């Protein structure tokens, strides 16, 4: 019986590829999860009696870390701080992550997916986590406004092109 590697080589095939070679571009969401959640309610219960509406400050960040050659962890981080004249009503910090599988995709397209499309997919889940956390702290649920991640990504890439800088690996 002939050696399989030689038969494949004689047929012009690589022994590692076979008929079912998985060499097509592929991107997909593997899983998603809350990585970190912190709720501070420093002035409760007196903050529930405050009559003026608090000013809301929302800070947002996207990060991507390579787990291995084909898996990245995309993290959406948000800090929501509600301050009134009397003090801080609440602070909610949340990190919501998704594991993204990427195979045979050029760097430019994978970067765009990690920092524009993946956050768009994950955002509704982070939004619910934040709304529930604020509600559970005793306040009306905070519904974060929708974010145009693709638009923000394009603006950021255009700004970096004008400045002649490359995006830092793993951040947007």
Task: Work out how many domains the chain is built from and give that number.
Answer: 1
The domain in which residue 33 lies consists of: 27-143
**Residue that the structure tokens 């800070």 belong to:** 59
Residue 172 has what pLDDT? Answer: 56
How do residues 104-153 score in pLDDT, each as one tens digit? 999 989 999 999 999 999 999 999 999 999 999 999 999 999 999 999 99
- What's the whole-number mean pLDDT along residues 65-85? 97
Residue 2 has what pLDDT? Answer: 45
Using alpha carbons only, what angle is made at residue 36 by residues 130 and 117, rounded to the nearest 5 degrees? 70
pTM of the model: 0.80
Does the residue 85 lie in any domain? yes
Gap between the Cα atoms of 128 and 135, Å rounded: 10
pLDDT at 165 over 80: no
pLDDT at 170 over 60: no
Does the residue 154 lie in any domain? no
User: What phi and psi, each to the nearest 5 degrees, are found at residue 69?
Assistant: -60, -25
Does the residue 7 lie in any domain? no
Report the CATH number at residue 46.
Answer: 3.10.420.10
Does the residue 4 lie in any domain? no
Does the residue 148 lie in any domain? no
How do residues 1-30 score in pLDDT, each as one tens digit? 444 444 333 434 444 555 566 788 999 999
Q: Give which of 167, 40, 64 is closest to 119, Cα–Cα.
A: 64
Does the residue 129 lie in any domain? yes
Does the residue 91 lie in any domain? yes
Gap between the Cα atoms of 46 and 86, Å rounded: 10
Does the residue 16 lie in any domain? no
* 56 membership: H or E segment, kind and range: strand 55-68
Q: Is the peptide bond before 14 cis (omega within 30 degrees of 0)?
A: no
First-to-last alpha carbon distance for the chain, in angstroms, is 56
């Amino acid at each position: 019986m002939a050696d399989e590697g030689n038969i494949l080589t004689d047929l012009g095939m690589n022994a590692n590829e076979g008929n079912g070679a998985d060499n097509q571009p592929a991107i997909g969401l593997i899983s998603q999860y809350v990585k970190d959640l912190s709720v501070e309610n420093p002035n409760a219960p007196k903050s529930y009696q405050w009559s003026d509406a608090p000013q809301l400050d929302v800070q947002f960040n996207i990060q991507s870390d390579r787990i291995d050659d084909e898996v990245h962890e995309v993290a959406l981080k948000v800090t929501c701080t509600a301050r009134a004249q009397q003090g801080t009503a609440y602070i909610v910090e949340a990190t919501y992550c998704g594991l993204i599988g990427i195979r045979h995709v050029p760097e430019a397209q994978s970067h765009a997916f990690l920092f524009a499309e993946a956050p768009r997919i994950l955002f509704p889940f982070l939004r619910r986590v934040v709304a529930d956390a604020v509600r559970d702290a005793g306040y009306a649920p905070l519904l974060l406004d929708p974010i145009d991640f693709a638009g923000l990504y394009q603006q950021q890439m255009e700004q970096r092109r004008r400045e002649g800088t490359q995006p830092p690996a793993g951040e947007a």
